Amino acid sequence: MTTLIIGATGNVGRHLTASLARTELPVRALTRRPDAAGFPAGVQAVGGDLTDPESLRVALDGVDSVFLLWPFRSAEGAAPVIETIAKYARKVVYLSAFSVRDDVSPAENGVWGEIEDLIRRSGVDWTFLRAGGFATNTLGWAGQIRTGDVVRAPYAGAQRSLIHEADLAAVAVVALTEAGHTGQSYILTGPATVSQADQVRIIGETIGRPLRFEEQPPEEARAQMLAMWGNAEFVDRALAHWASIVTEPEPVVDTVEQLTGRPARTFADWAADHAADFRSTGDVAEAYVGALRRGALAETMPLLAPDMVRVAPLEGVAEVAGLEEIMANAQRLTADYEIHEVTADGPFLGDGAGEQFAVKFTFDQTHKPSGVRRSARKLTLYTVQGGRIVREEVAYVDAPSA
Ligand SMILES: NC(=O)c1ccc[n+]([C@@H]2O[C@H](COP(=O)([O-])OP(=O)(O)OC[C@H]3O[C@@H](n4cnc5c(N)ncnc54)[C@H](OP(=O)(O)O)[C@@H]3O)[C@@H](O)[C@H]2O)c1
């Protein structure tokens, strides 16, 4: 009963692959670069390209179900892919869009309607996940947010019921693993509408820095979107939709809860899960030092990359890799000391959009075996990537001894 996940390295596919990997079911994950995919243990990574239907045969051999997304803005080339899938698989769960309407022709429903039509006519059992806008679309603002306090985009008042990719994956697990979903088209949205201006405000609250939405003229946005996406029909549909939902908010449905048994995640939940995507080096530095000053060590954890490296040659171990090892090392180093107070000066940031910041720490501490109380200073240089600290290099001002 093998399931093949197409789009396994994507927003939804990553969650879906991880969730299915936790079940007993065999999971195969398609990607154009299997060596670089880094799937969870137990997942079989297979190479294949949707632009080359023949390349999918190895991945499809022996599968029962397929999770399908079509990552292109037109349905060109989809017919032979879906024919090939239908030769091997019994069931397809397709990630479609809630703009598809059953009362108009497939062509009028854009790429998603055309793909749905091809799947219907292929003879496989199908379930369509008609998703509303993904919250991940707001990652398109991450560059502006990391480098400034303003998001410039059209339609501040557009009221969107954006959905968390983890909820789409949770629904896909249900549709792939449980009976009774054949021939169903599920409309899936987040739990409420949130205007684009409020989405920006919520992201700002999450990263601890006020952000502002600045209205961009639609013609200017159209030119940028055309340069990015290429397909004028797709761009015009998107702009017309956003214009319409300023006065007529997107629908909100509770299908996620009905199908998975838990309410859909809010946009604030999504922003918290993705805070690292929006944080600048300065945001990480301020949040990190602020949490240390408050003694809130737990709050520093989301700011640290799990595979972060600590370099502190004077501590006897030249390099420690991984958060668990670093914590164990810290316990070993402080075991002999009673620390009365830690003062943090900084953060000191480099110019521009650099990756590094420094903090000077002063420890007022007593060496328990000798009873000597003294002040020890050290300067730490941090490197930030992807919104998390990936490296700390410790230079001691006072040698780390009693
Ligand atoms: N964004 C929205 O608001 C929205 C709303 C409704 C529906 N959708 C649909 O959701 C889908 C996107 O989902 P997502 O955000 O989870 O994906 P994503 O993060 O955009 O990732 C795209 C995935 O497609 C794979 N892919 C791209 N080109 C491929 C090719 N030539 N052959 C094989 N695989 C290829 C990539 O795999 P590799 O790079 O590893 O090969 C990757 O796993 C789209 O089909 C879109 O139509 C989106």
Ligand 1 center–CA 10 separation, angstroms: 6
Other beta carbons within 10 angstroms of residue 326's beta carbon come to 17
Atom 20 of ligand 1, residue of closest alpha carbon: 10
pLDDT tens readout for residues 186-224: 999 999 999 999 999 999 999 999 999 999 999 999 999
What is the dihedral angle through the alpha carbons of 163, 166, 171, 175, rounded to the nearest 10 degrees? 130
pLDDT tens readout for residues 276-331: 999 999 999 999 999 999 989 899 999 999 999 999 887 777 899 999 999 998 88
Looking from the CA of residue 165, the nearest atom of ligand 1 is: 16
The CATH code for residues 1-131 is 3.40.50.720
Percent of the chain with pLDDT over 90: 89
Domain with CATH 3.10.450.50 in the chain: 281-396
pLDDT band at 171 (very low <50, low <70, confident <90, very high): very high
Distance CA 268, CA 198 (A): 10
- Is the pLDDT at 336 greater than 80? The verdict is yes
- Is the pLDDT at 350 greater than 90? The verdict is no
Pocket lining: 161 vs ligand 1, CB cutoff 6 Å:
no
- Is the pLDDT at 402 greater than 60? The verdict is no
Class of domain 281-396: alpha beta
Contacts of 327 (CB under 8 A, 6+ apart): none
For tokens 């004028």, what's the residue? 232
The reported pLDDT for the residue numbered 399 is 74
Pocket lining: 59 vs ligand 1, CB cutoff 6 Å:
no
Looking from the CA of residue 72, the nearest atom of ligand 1 is: 45
pLDDT band at 383 (very low <50, low <70, confident <90, very high): very high
Domain with CATH 3.40.50.720 in the chain: 1-131
Distance CA 344, CA 382 (A): 14
Three-state secondary-structure class, residue 278: helix
Pocket lining: 98 vs ligand 1, CB cutoff 6 Å:
no
pLDDT band at 398 (very low <50, low <70, confident <90, very high): confident
Atom 43 of ligand 1, residue of closest alpha carbon: 7
pLDDT tens readout for residues 83-134: 999 999 999 999 999 999 999 998 899 899 999 999 999 999 999 999 999 9
Contacts of 332 (CB under 8 A, 6+ apart): none
Contacts of 1 (CB under 8 A, 6+ apart): 25, 26, 64, 65
